[in-house]
Structure 1
């Protein structure tokens, strides 16, 4: 929300305006690039950015993070447009926004913080890999194959096409030059870096293509109002399929998780008010509902723009509101400026953004300190690459749950020999199905010529599978006409008579 006492200070007001201009310059090429890479008119990316500023900017939640179309959703949007069409995209985004509103209203916002960081990083890494592989083709003005494996298999043919086709080579060099500018830009003096790197890279590429009259594909311009097509009843009717429902859920969960993780990161960058996660989730829901009603791209809170906003000195939500106003004025007054941008330059921006989604620097320390988390990250990323985003994330979440269940299933089996030849087997810890093979191997290896007391009183948890398996083992043991097994259930007291003598330990797992 706006802080009126702060805005009465002319210095603060000036700083908010300057910050909004910085965010606008960062957002402009990204809005256009994400839209083109998603297979929709470039103006729809600007519409989402405008809604992120002029609608979400006024809502409570996180006052400094900026919303708009995100590179992380490009792959999912592209697949949705290819399968359902641009018209149905609006219906999908609208329903996803309503679901976000409901989740925020019922207090589910804070639960998104419980999602495994390894799964989120793996999801983003997988998205980054698919984005890079797809946009490499766009850098050469070449149609990209479908599927991650198809993109990988087509790389040799792409390389041959770039070498043998002068037009493809020219476009690829434009994209490669854009990436080079983005990589080198942070190393320039601070004065030069006042212009955001993506804007400078796209401007230089556009200038070179225009002055040299290079034969490269340009962004197609339709006009802001002409690009807006609200979804009709027919488009909503297509949402009844299983594939459409899965896409809606994927949009909802991934956009929500990305926005709230971004909020947590932005909170670490400033000393202002902390994010209210439920309100922020509802704000994102309102934004996506509006975007869906306009037939635009889905939105998330975007860490690149949010970080630029904080680093530019913003202290209130005015900067993000104004950035939406600047996007609106640009789209309304200078639409022809979009039409001279080479597609290869925008592809280069997204290749660079995709590479930054892959946490290469974090992988080695993560492998040293938390090997299981590194495995989950890698498997999630590869699953997203070879299947699709939704299935890859679901697999990652399942692996994270199994890993956690395995780690908390600490189980110890101790065997004690008492006077008279009686044996006491004490099982302590948490008995879950994950440890069941090990415990059954140890029990079945016990001698059958002695009375056995199975003491389960030290168990903190016994799941249904383990309880049934232990009872069946005792029945089989008794049916074999051996010495009987006596079970002390988890609710019973610990050993009472004789006390354990120092006997061998059967094993621990």
Structure 2
């Protein structure tokens, strides 16, 4: 049965994968030829790499919808390797790089390759794009490209004065078609633009009988297959080439896999397995005489966009390339080199993305981007990336370790009071700035030293304490206020570490007790937790809250009345991401709304004030899981016994509705909630009914001036659900209740 279902699954997916593979093949074919030419490699090496990338990486790799093959990102590297070592030794370097990639995968640390700063990767690709465009523009004009970017720039005026017009027109036609293809109707764009451009350009040269340089092949596909050669010397440069190819191919493949994962909802990429697939493909490609292989975003994007469902599409695209290369090589020799040059110029331009520049500008990384691009273009790829990485690391270190330190007098003139503030990270790197601020204080001044730091090492601690001792010895005074998580006494007890400040209200007192933090011994035991919390609030959070309450210090204008349970585990401001002045909160046992005739008017008074005086726009009733009041009702609490029993009497209608299979309770049961939580959901729905009968709430809701909303907080999952008269769903989504819980 399992084999039959597997076959049915393959057939079902094949109707998507087969057409997608044909489209990807049509995109890959001209790109593979162009990249081989740009790399100064044999033309067939590009097709060999396309076949191997599709079949080997497609079968073994860990990114199901990624398509691999020769990539523009390695053209500059390969061209340099071919110039230095020759083609067959370059193939050996490809094999060795593949072995290194397999080691990356087996080490289970493949994801570490993504640690390279994205701005450096983007700049590297932009530099490669500019280099490709500078090289190929000379071929398009009918000349030859120089060996360096500087030569290509300086020789361009001379080539512009001596243009081979047939080549320039054909190359220009390809560029125009490529750049305008996205403007055509969707039905036309189903055919890949690169393929159409190359076919049209080739057909024109044949029809017009143009005497123009065309692609030259040395034999057919199978004759091009050749084993690599071992280097005879200069092993240092060979090893550097292996590392360069392996790292760039790995980073480009993993970045492409990450991008592809964002485009579909199927299985996610296994980075370690992807490295095994990429490594196997490079070993195979190098052994057969092909270019290095990487995951290629252009082909992968096409694969997903055309509806591929499984890795079969990538594998089949490699098969179609093999069929074409084995049987139709005569067609390849009709393609003008100027047409492929035009294609490569556009590919190069498209590697320089304006969006990446805008991102670098916004994030303050534009200098890293510009320096990396310039270095890649005018030095070489490896040196450019190394310079870019060094600059990015230096920028990160500067941002992380820098501290904002100010020193200034305050108070009345002649009071000799000074305020020194330090914010950020204080380390030995901050000592010059810190010493300058400290020494600016005159002798015998009364100093307040405010430390709001998340990192403090021994050098900075010692500098502060030495200065404090010396200043007090001259008759001055120093009051140290430690508002940050990093403290002076921490540096003496253990190696320095970064201390982060948590969200207010999310650090329970029990965790502080477990960590050994305790308030003053003079505080009565019954008050130690709360007074310790107040102390921490003053030290760490008061200044943050003060800023948030600056516009509501004299009046309130809340958006909602929030009626919820008194349970200590439910935190209204946390679960609604609200702040001071947003919620007018009413809490009681069981989040109950007493009906008409009740002697308890506390909820009614709050409703009247919030709606009539403040003008809230909504009233929210929020229940929660594992509610003690609901447990008591299910256990048969005596509602005539004492004040608690009398109060729980307001929940009797909720219990009755639950036992009569209320729709909200039924939906909660289908969603997997336990019985006590089903009752809690029904209770929220019934309290909403009580609110609609309220003489203040009802008319306002009917007129559209007020909304009544029900919420339910599930403590185990920390998720908030919306409750209606008929169901329950994850708040803020349209998901059905039965799909909500894990």
What TM-score range do you get, normalising by the shorter chain? 0.7 to 0.9
Aligned residue number for residue 206 of structure 2 = 210
Which residue matches 1:496? none
- Counterpart secondary structure, 1:144: coil
- What's the C-alpha RMSD, in Å, of the aligned pairs? 3.4
Q: Distance in 1 between matches of 2:240 and 2:461?
A: 36
In 1, distance between residues paired with 2:5 and 2:93?
Answer: 37
Change (3 A) 1:191 1:426: closer
Match of 2:704 in 1: none
Is the deviation greater in 392-401 or in 188-197?
188-197
The structure where helix makes up a greater share of residues is 1
Between the aligned partners of 1:438 and 1:469, the Cα distance in structure 2 is 15
**Partner deviation per Cα, 1:275-317 (whole Å, 9 max, x = no partner):** 1111112211111111122232111111111111111111011
Q: CA deviation at 1:350?
A: 0.9
Aligned match of 1:506: none
Gaps of 5+ in 1: 163-167, 494-509
Match runs of 1:12-51 below 5 Å: 12-51=13-52
Residue 379 of structure 1 aligns with which residue?
371
Deviations 1:321-362 (A, max 9, x none): 111111111111111111111111111111111111101244
Asked if the contact 2:428/2:460 (under 8 Å) is kept, the reply is no
| Counterpart for residue 349 of structure 2 | 355
Tell me, what secondary structure is at the counterpart of 1:258?
Answer: helix
Alignment partners' CA distance in 1, 2:88 and 2:448: 65
Deviation of 1:187 after TM superposition, in Å, equals 2.1
Return 383-392 or 404-413, whichever deviates more.
404-413
Task: Provide the C-alpha distance between the structure 2 equivalents of 1:265 and 1:457, rounded to a whole number of angstroms.
Answer: 42
Give me the whole-angstrom Cα distance separating, in 1, the residues matched to 2:4 and 2:371: 45
Shift of 1:428: 5.7
Residue 442 (structure 1) aligns with: 437
More moved, 345-354 vs 181-190? 181-190
Contact 2:402 2:425 in 1 (8 A): yes
The verdict on how the C-alpha distance between 1:312 and 1:424 changes in structure 2, with shifts beyond 3 A counting, is: closer
8 Å Cα contact 1:422/1:450 also seen in 2 = no
Q: 1:154 to 1:412 in 2, by over 3 A?
A: same
Q: Deviations over 1:130-153 (max 9, x none)?
A: 111111011123211122222212
Matched ranges for 1:257-272 at <5 A: 257-272=251-266
- Distance 1:437-1:11 versus aligned 2 partners, 3 A rule: same
CA gap 1:7/1:301 in 2 versus in 1, 3 angstroms = farther
String of CA shifts for 1:449-500, please: whole Å, max 9, x gaps: 5699998997654569x569959x969x98xx9999999675359xxxxxxx
- Aligned pair count reads 476
CA distance change for structure 1 residues 462 and 240 in 2, over 3 Å: closer, same or farther? farther
DSSP-derived class of the 2:186 partner: coil
Higher RCO structure, 1 or 2 (CA under 8 Å, sep 6+): 1
| Aligned-pair CA distance for 1:108 | 2.1
Give SS of 2:108's match.
coil
* Residues 344, 58 of structure 1: alpha-carbon distance in 2 compared, 3 angstrom cutoff: same
- Distance in 1, matches of 2:4 and 2:391, equals 44
Matched, 1:401 2:398: no
Q: CA deviation at 1:202?
A: 0.5
Q: Which residue of 2 aligns with 1:292?
A: 286
Note the C-alpha offset of 1:69: 0.2
> Are the counterparts in 2 of residues 39 and 81 from structure 1 also a CA contact under 8 Å?
yes
- Relative distance call for 1:181 and 1:421 in structure 2 (3 A) is closer
Question: SS at 2:17's partner residue?
Answer: helix
Alpha-carbon distance in 2 for matches of 1:89, 1:100: 16
- CA shift at 1:34, angstroms? 0.5
Q: Match of 2:333, SS?
A: helix
Question: What SS does structure 2 have at the residue aligned with 1:340?
Answer: coil
Q: Which residue of the partner structure matches residue 86 of structure 1?
A: 87
Q: Counterparts of 1:449-460 in structure 2 under 5 Å?
A: 460=454
CA gap 1:189/1:113 in 2 versus in 1, 3 angstroms: same
How far apart, in 1, do the equivalents of 2:5 and 2:301 lie? Answer: 23
* Partner-residue secondary structure (3-state), 1:491: helix
- Between 421-430 and 375-384, report the one with greater CA deviation: 421-430
Q: 1:414 to 1:226 in 2, by over 3 A?
A: same
Work out the CA distance in 2 between the residues paired with 1:160 and 1:195.
37
Deviation at 1:4, TM superposition (A): 7.2
SS in 1 for 2:68: strand
- CA apart distance, 1:161: 1.7
Q: Secondary structure at the match of 1:191?
A: helix
TM-score, normalised relative to structure 2? 0.59
Higher alpha-carbon deviation: 250-259 or 358-367: 358-367
C-alpha separation in 2, matches of 1:485 and 1:238:
71
Once the 2 structures are TM-superposed, how far is the Cα of residue 193 of structure 1 from its aligned partner? 2.3
Q: Which residue of 2 aligns with 1:499?
A: none
